[in-house]
Structure 1
Amino acid sequence: MALDQNPTAAILATVPVARLYVHPFNPRSEIDEAGIVTLAENIRALGLIQNLAGIQDDDGRIGIVAGGRRLRALERLGDDPRFAAVPVRIAPDLATARLWAASENHLRVALHPADEIREYAALAGRGVVAAEIAIAFGVTDAHVRRRLKLAGLPAPVLAALRADEISLGAAACFTLCDDLDHALGVLEQARGRGFDAQRLRRLLKPAAIRDTDRRARFVGLEAYQQAGGRITRDLFEGEVYCDDPEILDACFAEKLTEAAEARRAAEGWKWVRTFEEPYLPYEESRALGAARLYPVPGELSPEQTERYAALAERAEAEDLDADEAAELDWLGALLDGGFTAEQVALAGIVVYVGHDGALRTEAGLVRAEDRAEAEAAGLLAPSRHADDARTKSKSPLSAALAEDLARGARGARQQAALRDPDLILDLLAFELSGRIGAAQAFGLRRDIVPNQPGTATGFALDARLTEAAPAPENPWDFDRAEAFRAFRETGAEHTRAELLRHLAGLLAVSDEKLGALIDAEAGTDIRAVWTPTAENFLGRVSGAYLDALWRELLDLAPEAPAATAFAKLRKGEKAARLESLFADPETRAALGLGGEQEARVAAWLPPEAF
């Protein structure tokens, strides 16, 4: 049906605000009270720029169908006689009023943020303050100030914002970069690609270091700037960036050295060393000190013990005043004890800065050259180390054999992982994300992670872990793009299988607990790939070891005839008998093994290695 509306039939009349109300035709059901207050200030300052529109009812009142927000703002201006009555355009009928309501509220287009920035900047350039701009546009002061912070953006960035090629949040990131060429280069990367703010900040400030970094927190921004370092402040997120990482690193190293030496001098340690990483790995600590001394525990008198318990109980209830809290700390320090002067004179400390920017100390490390003196002074117990040495000397496995067995276990784990590709990919993501810390789950390197013992007998891995990948005839000069295209055309199933087998072949978990978890999840079974033979194990341990193993597997007492007869055999014969026991079902049947003994033989692994 064609519309036949005569706009000239409408009446423009000045109507007291008291006779006006918001008509149900008005579609705005949710009202922003803060916005109404801002609009009222705008009308008070600039007047009613746009008239209201409504329909007169039978009581002579006029329901506003277009301008409900303006009416609510006018009702707040009852103290201003200028707005006691206002112009209202009155519709000739309900159909016209309904059309006005739809047109007013649905065809309105908000000012684009890029246009806001330009308009606000032009007004500010003419001396108009932010508060006046806010009133003129019916927005808050904070809104105007946020837009004005973007007024200095390069023209291409504002143009990209206006073309909706980047978001307003993305445009704000460009305030971080004062290198125009670099900023425009990043802009070209970001156009239409939906980069989030975090990614843009990394692209715009690739070398910068956040003030939350442990180095910046330890050095302090003031000291960094005094050394000539520059900073950039994010105008919107409140973040601060250090733009000169070399200066920050130099300040960090200098302050760490000074702090370490000050601590050594204050506490009297024999030596000090700094470590620039945020934690001290066990391997590093072990390399630095041959042994560790521990603080000597303190002792409290009976009266002090009773007082400490009472204060500690009240501390749980948060019922201590400042003096009592200080007393509890003092008693706790006495109980904790500390290093003696004799310990300090022979040991040293490693000082480093933790993730939180705080100075940390590993104390009581005795270097190899001071170990004999520490033992002589009774600070280290020689018997403990002698026991360790005896334990090592008693090991029945040679280093080569131990390595072979470790490789076999590694291969078994890799083979088990082949059955669980999601586990492998999740573990890879775990390591690559850095959440694994100083440990590792994969041998992420070009060389092959060893998984085959030096002796091949008794060991059989899945071919996917042993077959070499096809290589180009000339690995230096070929069309890699064409080769990659051909590889992808083999299909997702093939490429996923290649990823799986190569990642499984790199599996080299260094953390014992993590390795145990992987074994449990994947169902690692070392005996599925490795069986003891004379060549790979039995001929490489002592005769006494073989005697004990024979008795263990067959559940024999040392004086049993089968045990004593075995003990009289030559070592080679013992190894052959045991190899047959592990590999030959007929041998086990001839020996009359029961179900429990069969299971023991099938599951046995050298306890010294696995």
Structure 2
Amino acid sequence: MELERDGEGRETGHYFVTIGEGRRLAQLLRVRRRQIKKADLIRCVLDTEHDAHEISLAENVIRSSMHPADEFEAFALLHNEKGMAADDIAARFGVTPAVVKERLKLAAVSPALMAVYREGGLSLEQVMAFTLTDDHARQQEVWQGLGWDKGADAIRRALTEGQVDAGDRRGRFVGADAYVAAGGVITRDLFDDENGGYFADPALLDRLVLAKLEQEAQAVRAEGWVWVTVTPEYDFRATSTMRRVYPSEPELSTKAQRKLEKLAAEYDELEALAENEELTEAMQARVSQLETEMEAVKGQPVYDTADIAAGGAFVSLGYEGGVRVERGFIRKEDEAAMAGRGEPETDGASEGRESIASLPEKLVAQLTAHRTAVLREAVAQRPDIAFIAVVHAFAASTFYVGSRISCLDISARTVYLSGYVAGMDESPQARACGDRQAELAKALPAYVQDLWDALLGFTQEQLMRLLAHCAALTVDAVVRPGASSPQPLKHAEALSQAVSLDMTAHWQPTATNYLGQVTKAVIVEAVREGVSEEAAAQLADLKKPAMAEAAERLLADKGWLPQVLRLPQRQVGDAMAA
């Protein structure tokens, strides 16, 4: 300690703490806890001969630091054998209680691994990764089973194999609190915050997902749907045999329509202004306000009450961890509930059938064959009408299940890919397709009988967009075992080139989607080709799972593709030029 002096050099009777401030605060904590009396004497050293700053610097610089492992074990000894609380240890050593708890957790790592740490064979980050479990045997088993990649991330993956990352959509949906309250265990290491870690019981988590989805489904049932199906994954294939109806915009009153037109006019003015100059913050705020007000005036789209009385909905887990609700599906067995709602046949159609019935069938076939020949030629002379006819046939088979209404002997058969890849229906491409399907369907009539007349009123751009969507859903470039004809696959390659398909923007190899399903030789060759000869050589002695994980990290963002996903090299230049 050092004497305090006033401005004239006289002693004040007080002292400066040169070294030992943490120890002084520890004694004050003991006083507050009534472990010692406020007047108890504490031994102090008063040094009036040496410079205070020099003394402080010497203690903090010249002294030899403890090895961190010694510090961990010292804290553990005080806690486990001396019975000291983390707060007491923190106060005595001038650190926070959180630091003490971390040190105690690190002290629980296997002594064998701690010995490796002392010798420099483990970094502090690696030791911290082992705190995911207190099982020393498991810690040592993982350490011995690691290949060349012994990093902290590799340790965590090995220790949490079969567990669910807290960032998984199931974990985000259920929430850590609900999972723990149900008896679940979350394993964390020292890097994890309170929202991190791993859900150690996937089966319990799945049950909680279904239970919470069922609760969410109650609100959907209250809307009046005949049936509501709860499923963890939304499966497009399950809905492929159902007709789907969509909500329509609510009818607006004259007053509401006038208000909407006024808001839209102001919005258009600001949008036109934005094309020529940058809007001020006030203008940008007004644009956002106008968008909100217009949506409020329009109101939410509503389903026809008859559709609700005959249809159903699916409640599932969404891609981002929220609830996904898909409404408006009409099953075949429920179609009877909607019988009689379609447009009645015209008298002309009835009279036509009566007149045909009075003629011999052979003669009817002859006459209508002549008419078909003339109709073909007439259509060939009107490309605009032919285009609408093709769109009509495709849209009827894509948007109206089981509808064979076109006189063109063509149809669009949607090819479902979910049977080949788990989770394909939740991919970004599948979600974009579903959103586009819903958007296009809103412009189509409720009944297929009205489709032709509706399409006659579409613009060329609308027709082309509708046709492109229908055609895209029929694309089938899947290579199946025993495929007899190579021609469709050759056409798939040509189509890929025409649209400048670049799979590197949408796919990269992982242990799940590729590397874990091929031989070790294929993995090594992929790394050799995508990274380097040296990187491939490092994988040679690894076991298959470790090799696949290591290769995934090495190939990340390298743009490497297996041969089956590449365009033929001889035609890449032509495709890019296109």
Under a length normalisation based on structure 1, what TM-score does the superposition of the two structures give? 0.48
| Mapped partners of 2:505, 2:209: distance in 1 | 34
Shift of 1:360: 1.4
Runs of 5+ unmatched residues, structure 1: 1-13, 20-35, 47-79, 91-97, 447-474, 510-514, 527-602, 604-610
Question: Could you tell me how far 1:120 is from its partner in structure 2?
Answer: 1.5
Matched, 1:216 2:171: yes
Kindly report which structure 2 residues correspond to 1:133-532, keeping only aligned pairs within 5 A, or say none: 133-134=89-90, 136-189=92-145, 194-196=150-152, 198-221=153-176, 223-225=178-180, 227-234=182-189, 236-237=191-192, 238=194, 239-257=196-214, 259-260=216-217, 262-263=218-219, 265-277=221-233, 280=234, 283-284=236-237, 287-289=240-242, 291-305=243-257, 317=285, 332=296, 335-370=299-334, 374=338, 376-378=340-342, 388=396, 390=406, 393=409, 405-412=487-494, 426=504, 430-433=507-510, 505-507=563-565, 523-524=574-575
Letter in structure 1 aligned against 2:254: P
Which among 77, 94, 112 is matched to residue 122 of structure 1?
Answer: 77
Measured at CA, do residues 15 and 373 of structure 1 come closer, stay the same or move farther in structure 2, by a change above 3 Å? closer
Give 1:171 deviation, angstroms: 2.0
1:353 is displaced (CA, Å) by 1.0
> Residues 274 and 350 of structure 1 are in contact (CA less than 8 Å); yes or no, is this contact kept in structure 2?
yes
Quote the offset at 1:336 in angstroms: 2.3
* C-alpha spacing 1:524/1:162, structure 2 compared with 1 (3 Å): same
Write the distance in 2 (CA, Å) between the matches of 1:83 and 1:161.
38
Partner SS for 2:222: helix
Q: Secondary structure at the match of 1:170?
A: helix
Paired letter, 1:393:
D
Alignment check: 8 A CA contact 1:121 1:148 kept = yes
Distance in 1 (CA, whole Å) between partners of 2:516 and 2:492 is 15
Deviation at 1:271, TM superposition (A): 2.9
Q: Is the 8 A contact 1:174 1:183 kept in 2?
A: yes
| Residues 235-277 of structure 1: CA deviation (Å, up to 9, x unaligned) | 55232432221222233234434643x3453122233333322
Task: Tell me which amino acid in the other structure corresponds to 1:114.
Answer: A
The equivalent of 2:34 in structure 1 is none
| Counterpart amino acid of residue 432 in structure 1 | P
Matching of residue 86 in structure 1 with residue 47 in structure 2: yes
Give the match's secondary structure for 1:390.
coil
- The 2-side partners of 1:146 and 1:268 are apart by 54
What are the Cα deviations for residues 284-315 of structure 1, in whole angstroms up to 9, with x where unaligned?
365252x3211021123233456677799999
Distance 1:292 1:431, change over 3 A: farther
On the 8 A contact 2:172/2:321 being kept in 1, the answer is yes
2:491 aligned partner, one-letter code: A
SS at match of 1:294: coil
Give CA-to-partner distance per residue, 1:105-152, whole Å, 9 cap, x none: 875432221111111122233244445534544444443332123333
Matched residues in 2 for 1:339 and 1:275: separation? Answer: 23
Question: 2: distance between equivalents of 1:415 and 1:519?
Answer: 11
Q: After TM superposition, give the deviation of residue 356 of structure 1 in Å.
A: 3.5
Equivalent position SS for 1:166? coil
After superposition, give the CA deviation of every residue in 1:422-466 in whole Å (9 maximum; x if it has no partner).
x77x469x243599xxxx9x99989xxxxxxxxxxxxxxxxxxxx
1:362, distance to aligned residue in structure 2 (A): 1.0
Please tell me the residue identity of whatever aligns with 2:312.
G
Partner amino acid, structure 1, of 2:227: W
**How has the CA–CA distance of structure 1 residues 367 and 316 changed in structure 2, closer, same or farther, with 3 Å as cutoff?**
farther
Q: CA deviation at 1:354?
A: 1.2
Q: 2:143 touches 2:150 (CA, 8 Å); kept in 1?
A: no
Tell me the distance in 2 between the aligned counterparts of 1:102 and 1:110.
14
CA contact (8 A) 1:296 1:338 kept: yes
Q: Secondary structure at the match of 2:107?
A: coil
Query: Alpha-carbon deviation of 1:361?
Result: 0.8
The residue aligned with 1:467 is none
Q: Is the 8 A contact 1:294 1:364 kept in 2?
A: yes
Q: For 1:267 and 1:379, how far apart are their aligned partners in 2?
A: 27
The structure that has the greater radius of gyration is 1
Q: Aligned equivalents of 1:233 and 1:175: distance in 2?
A: 8
SS of residue in 2 equivalent to 1:272? strand
Query: Does the CA-based 8 Å contact 2:263-2:294 persist in structure 1?
Result: no
Question: 2:109, 2:131 within 8 Å by CA — same for their partners in 1?
Answer: yes
Q: Determine whether 1:42 maps to 2:4.
A: no
Q: Label 1:184 to 1:220 Cα distance change in 2 as closer, same or farther (>3 A).
A: same
Letter in 1 for 2:249: P
Q: Is the 8 A contact 2:142 2:158 kept in 1?
A: yes
Superposed CA deviations along residues 513-540 of structure 1, whole A, max 9, x for unmatched, are xx9xx999753399xxxxxxxxxxxxxx
C-alpha change, 1:120 and 1:258, in structure 2 (3 Å) is closer
Percent sequence identity over matched residues? 28
Matched-pair contact (CA < 8 Å) for 1:15–1:88: no
* AA aligned opposite 2:47: V
Change beyond 3 A, Cα 1:189–1:306: farther
**TM-score, with structure 2 as normaliser:** 0.50
Amino acid at match of 1:42: R
Distance 2:334 2:254 in 1: 38
Q: Give how far 1:43 is off.
A: 5.8
Distance 1:315 1:293, change over 3 A: farther
Is contact 1:298–1:337 with CA below 8 Å preserved after alignment? yes
Q: CA deviation at 1:506?
A: 1.4
Q: Report the RMSD for the aligned CA atoms in angstroms.
A: 6.1
- How far does the alpha carbon of each residue in 1:13-47 deviate from its partner, in whole angstroms, 9 at most, with x for none? x985769xxxxxxxxxxxxxxxx99953436768x
